[in-house]
Amino acid sequence: MAQEYVWETPEEINLALAGRMRNIRRRRAISQERLSQISGVSFGSVKRFETTGQISLLSLTKLSVALGCADEIRNLFTQVPYRNIEEVIREGR
């Protein structure tokens, strides 16, 4: 099997995701405090996520729902292509 090279660290990927979520929040003219209120995610967690990219999956989902982006979470990993025929066969078992 070929080695897949990743050019970003997991932390960099998380920070990019946090930046995209922050941009959506700003576009919708919602403050971090208001997002915290409507999502049920603590203000500190919202602030930490936007600063560091660190957040639990449940909190990320809550923020996505509050921002009207639940489909983005719902559709994660739905379009992953098969790498080879063996993966097709294994999935069918």
Residue 47's pLDDT is what?
A: 98
Any domain includes 5 = no
**CATH code of the domain in which 20 resides:** 1.10.260.40
What is residue 53's three-state secondary structure?
coil
Q: Could you read off the pLDDT of 26-37 as tens digits, one per residue?
A: 999 999 999 999
For 1-93, list the strands marked E by DSSP: none
Helix (H) or strand (E) holding 83: none
Task: List phi, psi (to 5°) of 21.
Answer: -65, -40
Q: Could you tell me the pLDDT band of residue 40, with boundaries at 50, 70 and 90?
A: very high
Any domain includes 51 = yes
Domain that holds residue 17: 10-92
pTM for the whole structure: 0.85
What is residue 27's three-state secondary structure?
helix
- What are the structure tokens assigned to 75, written together? 């559709």
Among 4-8, 18-22, 31-35, 44-48, the least confident range: 4-8
How many Å separate Cα 47 from the centre of its chain? 15
Q: Could you read off the pLDDT of 43-74 as tens digits, one per residue?
A: 999 999 999 999 999 999 999 999 999 999 99
